[in-house]
Structure 1
Amino acid sequence: MTRSVYVTGIDRGDGRQVVELGVMELLTRQVDRVGVFRPLVHHSPDRLFELLRARYRLSQDPATVYGMDYQEASVLQAERGSDELVATMVDRFHVVAREYDVVLVLGTDFADTQLPDELSLNARLANEFGASVIPVVGGRGQSAESVRAETHNAYRAYAGLGCDVIAMVTNRVAREDRDEIAGLLTAKPPVPCYVVPDDPALAAPTVSQIGQALGAKVVLGDDSGLARDALDFVFGGAMLPNFLSALTPGCLVVTPGDRADLVVGSLAAHSAGTPPIAGVLLTLGEVPSDGVLTLAARLAPGTPVLSAPGNSFVTATELFSLEGKLNAATPRKAETALGLFERYVDTNELLERVSAPSTDRVTPMMFEHKLLEQARSDRRRVVLPEGTEERVLHAAEVLLRRGVCDLTLLGPVDRIRKTAADLGIDLGDSQLIDPATSGLRDSFAEKYAALRAHKGVTVELAYDVVSDVNYFGTLMVQEGLADGMVSGSVHSTAATIRPAFEIIKTKPDAAIVSSVFFMCLADKVLVYGDCAVNPDPNAEQLADIAIQAAATAEQFGVEPRIAMLSYSTGTSGSGADVDKVREATALVRSRRPDLRIEGPIQYDAAVEPSVAATKLPGSEVAGQASVLIFPDLNTGNNTYKAVQRSAGAIAVGPVLQGLRKPVNDLSRGALVQDIVNTVAITAVQAQNPNPAAPAHNPTEKATAP
């Protein structure tokens, strides 16, 4: 069974970091403990390892990551020969291999080295490590036939040296040539060949990287602005009207520091979104007056203005030699890279060929990976009513770059665009709708009035109601213009879910709407319900919550073993509260005899095998419960928060269940990753909201109003 994967190349400039990051993503889906080893490094710390460590929360000692630096390797090879060099590398590799389930090996980079025949060295190291090999071939600036020939040659080179080549990746090919190249590589080599197109956003340096390379001073701007990609350079010299017509989306404006007109004009264009720019770079070490800078800061808050000491020619020469790099400071580039990898690489096929050892443990990271993968497998459209909220826009960018789902954002369209531009966020082809001006408002008002006529709602009143973003979004879901909705980062729970109660309503097989949290512990995922909606459910409702929670757990890969929680286990206690739980357990057993359930049961007996062996010996649930149903909201809400804070668990939710179509609520303190996870959950719920119901009709996708 493969215990290591060696990603290597044949020359520099292949953009291999995209593949290394993508393979790491695959490995961390499968196993808990993944180590990293780079045989040769130019300098420590290595920027890619720092990215992997930050993104995947690696606890590996950085001192064990690197075999040796190139200078040490060159001296060792010259003085004692290649065999000694390889033997030293193998010893250092096994220090890592002994501690981890699988090791990702990052091959040498073919850049500025004194080592002869670097390809053969990589091949020999892979063989000595017992690693499967994924060679990467760079295709930038080459014809389709040239890329085909080079890919074949790379395969023959590594296979001919005895390597276990499990796949080839041809990277950075021209987007217009991608399909042709993929066709040429269908028959040969005899392993899967994945063809990944070039992406300007990956090659583009961030404004921060440009500033560091040029020794520029940050005059204006915040961290978000400095993280923007500079997709183009526009040099200012013309008069303002002609200059403005030359601006392109995401460009960095380069102008002498004394051209205050171009500075103000560029930032005004950015503020209007025509077009949004990455920032402004001033040359000659000059800076506009304080009055101009004050105006600039008000026009485009957060947009970076930098001052470089060189003149325009020197600055231009340096700018055109810069290339964006993946590192811990560029998380948005990492999302773009993973989106490319997951779109153009058959990740399921590659994971099978890697044959990484599987584990019964489910870490929070594994759960999140599988969640995004499941959502991406059958892409849906989710409407986000809070389209002007910064956290929502950052989450939207992650979702779009990773290809998780299609998005509709609600709110004043100009304001959404301006906020996105200020944050340097590209919303791509997301649908933007202002409920107040949308052509759907009239028809939605009629539909809502008809639904609520029994409450005295007229069309005139409904016309005002449906301009509310949550009502508008819920109606989009009801009418099949979106598959699900997520709101609540700035709205109350009531404001988010009341429209769903009124418009979407409960499933035929659900008595009530309830909620669960996915509690991601260090080595497993538990499902808690109900922790957010029903204050004091009766026995009938508690049974319904348990059945719905079991279905939700199963939909997300958690095998349901239900514990109906109480302060008493088995027959040891009595009283109204215990009797309610006992009755609810009996109702579940009568309605769903296929479900494994135990109750009443105390929390420790539900999750701890040693306690279960004493209190409920022989139970198929006690000690290994995965779905825990609390008797009331007070208990459930406090318990999930206690476990979240005290045990360091990641709480994903609340996830609403029982509605005909998925609508989910966010905490008002939700982080960007919380929003990403909740949207992915909503997309998965929409894939098959009711296992007994017909599959989703693809003709119901959203259309522009």
Structure 2
Amino acid sequence: MGKSVYVTTLEGYSGKSAVALGLLDALSRRVQRVGVFRPIVLGDAATGDPGQRDYVLDLLVAHEAVTLGYDECTGVTYDDVHADPVAALDTIVERYHRVADQCDAVVIVGSDYTDVGSPTEFAYNARVAANLSAPVLLVVNGADRSPDDVKVLADMAAGAIAENHASLFAVVANRVTDPDLSGVVRALARDGVPVYALPEEPLLSAPTLADLLPVCGGRLVSGDPALLDREVLGVMVAGMTMPNVLDRLFDGVVVVTPGDRPEVVLGVLMAHLSAGFPQVSGIVLNGGIELPSQVTRLLESAGATLPIIATDLGTQETSTALTSMRGRLRSGSGRKVAAALSLFAQHIDSDALLDGLDVARTTAVTPLMFEHQLIDMASADRRHIVLPEGDEPRVLAAADLLLRRGVADLTLLGDPIRITAQAASCGADITGATLLDPETSELTERFAEEYYQRRRHRGIDRVEARTAAVDVSYFGTLMVELGLADGMVSGAAHTTAHTIRPALEVVKTVPGVSVVSSVFFMCLQNQVLVYGDCAVNPDPTAEQLADIAVSSAATASAFGIEPRVAMLSYSTGSSGAGSDVEKVSAATELVRARAPHLLVEGPIQYDAAIDPSVAATKLPGSQVAGQATVFVFPDLNTGNNTYKAVQRSAGAVAIGPVLQGLRKPVNDLSRGATVRDIVNTVAITAIQAQQLDQQLDQQVGQQLDQPVDQRAGHPEPEAVR
């Protein structure tokens, strides 16, 4: 049975769902099988009646780490507790054990104070926790409360927990509005109990436009229905002239105006699409007055996506209805989920928390765990990544997620007006990114001259150099080469050649490496393998194959995978002959000569490299056979087909291609890349940049450790100069 923790609170609206989500996400980084259990839910606990589905449980079971369904994760209903509390508790315990028996860890989320007095309901939650042998993580609502007020609530709850024979594991003061978070933590301090404080995040309690539609009796009259999921951070009644309306706009606002004020509608819409104004969530036309037909035709012909809602309510009734609605953190709220996870990661030491819960790390690495690892590594030391395809909707959606999670600092290339309009159209918040237009940037002339000086020996003149400099791929590559960005990710809307050619011309390869190559991280059910080269080199020579092997091993090591390299062929050892086998054999010897510390085996067949039983027969005693982690394919045809076959037939998650061999990180996306692919590739690029800086620091340290007379023949690294 797995470890468990019971997340509960003294009152409603404490934000415990956000804390539970953060805890669940932290556990998914440490164990393979994470479960969720909700002892008391609304509606039919056995069938999960859609009309009464529990939104907190929906949120948590939607997490990728949770494999159990909604029905399996429920205990009893409120009606069951009211009818017979003792029998309900017996059912809760029995249903909980069904979940716990299938999981390494379980997050249990207490009830929501729907219709029971607080003291009675909290005591029952404490009793449930005691019967499930689950320590309690107490969430205390800190909104508009002093540290002393929060302490009183926590002490009251701690007393009730002890009275009901449960144990207090940790305390989280959530939604804290007091600016002194450390003061709240000090007030709550108690021996042996970790205490954390999370500040109020308005986005988490903001309603969406979809939430507001029913409360004002509204109907969508224009715009993209998908953008009704956009959160509303405030309401503004536009009862003033247009210049004053523009001055009062803010991000996430809903503008309320009568339908006979078309100039307000058009002015707000233009501001929403402009790079110089905040992004608006929507417009509400009150009073039952429709827009003039001419304006409606204009909106339709312009393809305006900003939601415009009509209501028959008057101005005061509309604003009262809209401001009275409180939003919830739901499974479909991507922006809220990202904000909640970011808040948890920033303010709670999850490793220390889980160590206290005594949750041991698994040695297996699932695809989700590996992706978490990428995000965590990138976020720990943020780097600056440039994205040349700034107006591509998938890139914008990925940028929104990356910025919210603090994965990297971003520069988007392209026309800022077009980028901002596209972001507004798809509901992406990119206010934290830098927008640069190569056509007008003050950097363009500098880049043109730099490119000319580097390529004039190839016959490039200054006119051609400037043409190259305004190309987004060249502009982004020059940013990386000149230290204005740490890495570049492109390819969602450009060919591989368009991404790699500028890098080969400007960044060039690492000294001693003759070829740029690629790897895929193949995330299997419980381990991650590295496949190279499956995307770039059609038929590498023995020397190039050796370069690919050494580069792939270094990439594996950089991402926490111990490199054991299999040089693949249709023959194992000396069992076969032919030019293809001889190429792999020669490449293997070159790898051993260049990197004698590296564990490498070849020629070797795939089954002997991956399967210990086959390895014991074909290559007994090998340190690589049967346990290889890096697979180097003899040609692109073999590599590309193999990675796709494993991806489809074994259900593996393929992350890549990741380019290697360049002096600075530039990575190519598939033109079919998903938002998730882009997020992962940006994280990988940031980690590659971190690794390069660490290598430079090591080189500087080694040179500075040498006696002065031995440094004479070594030029100082650029960072020292």
Shorter-normalised TM range: over 0.9
How far apart, CA to CA, are the structure 2 residues paired with 1:205 and 1:276? Answer: 16
CA shift at 1:663, angstroms? 0.7
Q: TM-score, normalised by structure 2?
A: 0.91
In structure 2, what is the equivalent of residue 380 of structure 1? 383
SS of equivalent to 2:326: coil
Deviation at 1:282, TM superposition (A): 2.3
Q: State how 1:93-132 maps to structure 2 within 5 Å.
A: 93-113=96-116, 117-132=120-135
Structure-1 residue corresponding to 2:200: 198
Structure 2 residue identity aligned to 1:19: V
In structure 2, the residue matched to 1:10 is 10
* Alpha-carbon shift at residue 309 of structure 1 (Å): 4.1
CA–CA distance in structure 2, aligned partners of residues 462 and 154 of structure 1: 69
Equivalent in the alignment of 1:601: 604
Verify: 1:59 aligned to 2:67, yes or no. Answer: yes
Indicate how the Cα distance of structure 1 residues 504 and 217 shifts in structure 2: closer, same or farther if over 3 A, else same: same
> Aligned partners of 2:698 and 2:19: how far apart in 1?
35
Which residue does 1:42 correspond to in 2?
Answer: 42
The size of the alignment, in residue pairs, is 693
User: Taking CA–CA contacts closer than 8 Å with sequence separation of 6 or more, which of the two structures ends up with the larger relative contact order?
Assistant: 1
Moved more, 247-256 or 613-622: 613-622
Matches within 5 A, 1:249-264: 249-264=251-266
Quick check: 1:2–1:355 contact (8 Å CA) kept in 2?
no
TM-aligned CA distance change 1:692 to 1:237, over 3 Å: closer
Q: Secondary structure at the match of 2:398?
A: helix
After superposition, the C-alpha distances for 1:8-36 in whole angstroms (9 at most, x for unaligned) are: 11211111111111011011111121111
Is the contact made by 1:248 and 1:275 (CA closer than 8 Å) also made in structure 2? yes
Corresponding position of 2:526: 523
Cα contact 1:255–1:281 (8 A) shared by 2: yes
- Among 268, 271, 277, the alignment partner of 2:270 is 268
Residues 696/432 of structure 1: CA separation in 2 closer, same or farther (3 Å cut): farther
Deviation at 1:592, TM superposition (A): 2.3
SS of 2:324's equivalent in the other structure is coil
Contact kept in structure 1, 2:2 and 2:100, CA below 8 Å:
no
Measure, in 1, the Cα distance between the counterparts of 2:185 and 2:586: 61
Q: CA RMSD in A?
A: 2.4
Q: Of residues 506, 531, 536 in structure 1, which corresponds to 2:509?
A: 506
2:489 is aligned, of 477, 486, 490, to 486
Structure 1 residues 298 and 341: CA distance shift in structure 2, 3 A: farther
Partner of 1:305: 308
Q: How does 1:68-467 map to 2 (within 5 A)?
A: 68-77=76-85, 82=86, 84-113=87-116, 117-151=120-154, 153-155=156-158, 157-158=160-161, 162-174=165-177, 176-182=179-185, 184=187, 188=190, 190-273=192-275, 274-299=277-302, 301-467=304-470
Structure 1 residues 224 and 174, CA gap change in structure 2 (3 angstroms): same
Q: Distance in 1 between matches of 2:134 and 2:458?
A: 68
What is the alpha-carbon distance in structure 1 between the residues aligned to residue 598 and residue 157 of structure 2? 54
SS at match of 2:62: helix
**In 2, Cα distance between equivalents of 1:695 and 1:344:** 32
Q: Which residue of 1 aligns with 2:590?
A: 587
How far off its partner does 1:238 sit? Answer: 3.4
Contact 1:687 / 1:696 at 8 angstroms: preserved in 2? no
Once residues 71 and 8 of structure 1 are traced to their aligned partners in structure 2, the CA distance between those partners, rounded to angstroms, is: 20
Whichever residue aligns with residue 455 of structure 1, its letter is R
State which drifts further: 688-697 or 538-547. 688-697
Give the partner amino acid of 1:246: R
User: Which AA in structure 1 matches 2:423?
Assistant: A
- Separation in 1, partners of 2:693, 2:429: 34
Contact conserved, 1:2 with 1:131, CA < 8 A, in 2? no
The equivalent residue for 1:562 is 565
Q: Mean Cα displacement is larger for which, 319-328 or 347-356?
A: 347-356
Q: 1:10–1:154: 8 Å Cα contact kept in structure 2?
A: yes
Which secondary structure does the structure 2 equivalent of 1:166 belong to? strand
SS in 2 for 1:306: strand
Other structure's SS at 1:117 match: helix
State the SS of the aligned residue for 1:20: helix
Structure 2 runs not aligned, ≥5 long: 701-717
**Is contact 2:220-2:308 (8 Å) kept?**
yes
User: How many angstroms apart in 2 are the aligned matches of 1:479 and 1:167?
Assistant: 48
3-state SS in 2 of match to 1:317: helix
Task: Decide whether the 8 Å contact of 1:2 with 1:132 is kept in 2.
Answer: no
Partner SS for 1:593: coil
Measured at CA, do residues 148 and 41 of structure 1 come closer, stay the same or move farther in structure 2, by a change above 3 Å? Answer: same
Change in Cα spacing, 1:649 to 1:159, as seen in structure 2 (3 Å) is same
| CA–CA separation in structure 2 for the residues paired with 1:453 and 1:167 | 65
8 Å contact 1:364–1:520 — kept in the other structure?
yes
- Contact 1:531/1:640 (CA < 8 Å) preserved in 2? yes
The 3-state SS of whatever aligns with 2:84 is: helix
Unpaired runs of 5+ in structure 1?
none
Q: Percent identity?
A: 50
**Mapped partners of 1:656, 1:160: distance in 2:** 60
The structural deviation recorded for 1:205 is 1.0
Distance 1:272 1:425 in 2: 14
SS at 1:73 equivalent: helix
Contact 1:225 1:423 in 2 (8 A): yes
Deviation at 1:393, TM superposition (A): 0.7
8 Å Cα contact 2:205/2:329 also seen in 1:
no
Q: Secondary structure at the match of 2:95?
A: helix
Change (3 A) 1:420 1:148: farther
Could you tell me whether the CA contact under 8 Å between 1:270 and 1:300 is conserved in 2? no
After superposition, the C-alpha distances for 1:76-132 in whole angstroms (9 at most, x for unaligned) are: 12xxxx4x4433321121111112121110112223226852222222222222223
Amino acid at match of 1:491: H
For 1:601-629, what per-residue CA distance to the aligned partner results, in whole angstroms no more than 9, with x for missing partners? Answer: 12222223333333333333222221111
Sort the Cα spacing of 1:524 and 1:244 in 2 relative to 1 into closer, same or farther, 3 A: same
1 CA distance for matches of 2:683 and 2:563?
21
Change (3 A) 1:183 1:425: farther
Query: What CA deviation, in whole Å up to 9, does each residue of 1:293-326 have, x standing for no partner?
Result: 2212445622111223433333322212212211
Letter in 1 for 2:204: L
Whole-Å separation in 1 of the counterparts to 2:691 and 2:559:
12
SS of the residue corresponding to residue 696 of structure 2 reads coil
Distance across 1 between alignment mates of 2:691 and 2:207: 41
Asked if the contact 2:273/2:417 (under 8 Å) is kept, the reply is no
Structure 1 distance, partners of 2:62, 2:131, is 29
* TM-score normalised according to structure 1 size: 0.93
* Counterpart-to-counterpart distance in 1, 2:173 and 2:124: 21
Cα offset, 1:366, TM superposition: 0.9
Residues 212, 616 of structure 1: alpha-carbon distance in 2 compared, 3 angstrom cutoff: farther
Q: In the alignment, does 2:535 pair up with 1:532?
A: yes
Residues 240 and 265 of structure 1 are in contact (CA less than 8 Å); yes or no, is this contact kept in structure 2? yes
Counterpart Cα distance in 2 of 1:214 and 1:555: 54
Q: How far did 1:594 drift?
A: 2.5
Listed one character per residue, the Cα deviations across residues 28-84 of structure 1 (whole Å, up to 9, x for unaligned) are 11112111100111234222222233331633132221111111111112xxxx4x4
Specify the code of the residue in structure 2 equivalent to 1:56: E
- On the 8 A contact 2:235/2:253 being kept in 1, the answer is yes
Distance 1:444 1:63, change over 3 A: same
Q: 1:180 to 1:428 in 2, by over 3 A?
A: farther
